[in-house]
């Protein structure tokens, strides 16, 4: 088995473990082969940082690197594919899944992708804050067996438009293939990288639990560590963008994580919305009931 991990914009391994993203932590915990790609904007100095941050430059190169690694792994007999990503890296994770599905690998036209775990998909390749993503395929391919998407309930910055999966392919949710769940916090409170581990550990622990249910191997001590770091009452990080949009739209068919019920926020979900726990069980009482 092998993991292909796409980190978020400007995100890479940090000397301070608390500043690592959930993608990096997941990669470190994953037992099996692993191929990690730092976020766009982490290569080629200042120029790379500016163009990677503004336009997502370098995304396609990362897809090709991951695909070359995939071919190598298949030649060596490792044909179990798992993918994770955060922010623009989450969008790259989707594009990579579509690349595998469209190209195939070594004679297998549509190899199965066992697990996709993504935190707060925010593409914006080309124009910051815009839905123009030329050259990137962000639909949900049939080859993905299970997909889990942790979404930031309190994010409202213009340059962080959320890419939903269920709206593009609602039937997949009914089939039990896609699980999109809201968590309290802004973008990096969910995906990590901002040292707010009291909140980011909530979605990482949830993702670990879903991964274990799908057959991925994560050391129990790492799972326990993330659970112990959870602090649902931690302060939600500020939106530092001057331009703010309205809060993200919550659909009546959406699901919120159990931790959201433990505190109020500016973007409270509608009453009666389904609530899920870390084991994937829908609780009897809906949100606010």
Indicate yes or no: pTM above 0.85: yes
The tokens for 251 are 């659909």
Among the residues of 110-183, which ranges form H helices? 170-174
Return the axis-axis angle of helices 220-229 and 197-213, rounded to nearest 10°. 150
**pLDDT tens by residue, the chain, 289 residues:** 899 999 987 655 655 667 899 999 999 999 999 999 987 644 443 333 333 344 445 678 889 999 999 999 999 999 999 999 999 999 999 999 999 999 999 889 989 999 999 999 998 654 444 444 456 888 899 999 999 999 999 998 877 889 998 766 666 666 789 999 999 999 999 999 989 999 999 999 999 999 999 999 999 999 999 999 999 999 999 876 666 677 899 999 999 999 999 888 778 899 899 999 999 999 988 887 7
pLDDT digits (tens, 9 = 90+) for 202-238: 999 999 999 999 999 999 999 999 999 999 999 999 8
Which residues, 6+ apart, have CB-to-CB distance to 206 below 8 Å?
A: 150, 181, 183, 257, 278
- Give per-residue pLDDT as tens, 154-195: 998 877 889 998 766 666 666 789 999 999 999 999 999 989
d(CA 238, CA 151): 16
Tokens 């123009």 belong to 132
Please report the beta strands in 154-236, taking only residues with DSSP state E, as ranges in sequence order. Answer: 178-183
Give dist(CA 259, CA 232) in Å, integer: 6
The encoded tokens of residue 220 equal: 């129990």
Closest CA to 193 of 30, 29, 24, 67: 24
Any idea where the domains of the chain sit in the sequence? 2-276
Please return the burial class of 243, using the count of CB atoms within 10 Å of its CB with bins 0-12, 13-18 and 19+.
exposed
The CA–CA distances, whole Å, from 82 to 76, 170, 198 equal 16, 22, 26
Q: Does domain 2-276 have CATH number 3.30.390.10?
A: no
Percent residues over pLDDT 70 in the chain: 81
H or E stretch covering 68: helix 59-75
């Amino acid at each position: 088995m092998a993991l292909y991990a796409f980190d978020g914009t400007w995100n890479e391994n940090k000397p301070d473990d608390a500043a690592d993203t959930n993608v990096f932590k997941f990669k470190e915990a994953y037992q099996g082969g692993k191929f990690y790609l730092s976020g766009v904007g982490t290569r080629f100095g200042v120029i790379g940082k500016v163009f990677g941050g503004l336009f997502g430059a370098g995304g396609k190169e990362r897809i090709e690197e991951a695909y070359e690694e995939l071919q190598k792994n298949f030649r060596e007999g490792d044909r179990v594919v798992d993918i994770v990503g955060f922010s623009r890296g989450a969008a790259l994770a989707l594009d990579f899944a579509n690349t595998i599905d469209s190209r195939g690998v070594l004679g297998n036209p549509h190899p199965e992708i066992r697990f996709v775990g993504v935190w707060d998909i925010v593409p914006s390749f080309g124009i910051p804050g815009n839905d123009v993503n030329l050259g990137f395929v962000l639909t949900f391919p049939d080859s993905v067996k299970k997909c889990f998407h942790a979404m930031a309930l309190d994010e409202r910055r213009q340059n962080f438009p959320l890419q939903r999966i269920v709206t593009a392919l609602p039937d997949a949710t009914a089939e039990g293939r896609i699980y999109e769940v809201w968590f309290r916090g802004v973008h990096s409170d969910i995906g990590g990288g901002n040292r707010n581990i009291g909140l980011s550990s909530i979605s990482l622990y949830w993702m670990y639990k879903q991964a274990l249910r799908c057959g991925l191997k994560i050391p129990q001590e790492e799972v326990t560590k993330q659970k112990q770091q959870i602090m649902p009452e931690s302060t939600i990080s500020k939106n530092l963008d001057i331009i703010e949009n309205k809060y993200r739209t919550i659909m009546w068919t959406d699901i919120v994580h159990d931790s959201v019920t433990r505190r109020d926020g500016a973007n409270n979900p509608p009453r009666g919305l389904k609530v899920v726990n870390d084991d994937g069980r829908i609780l009897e009482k809906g949100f606010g009931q």
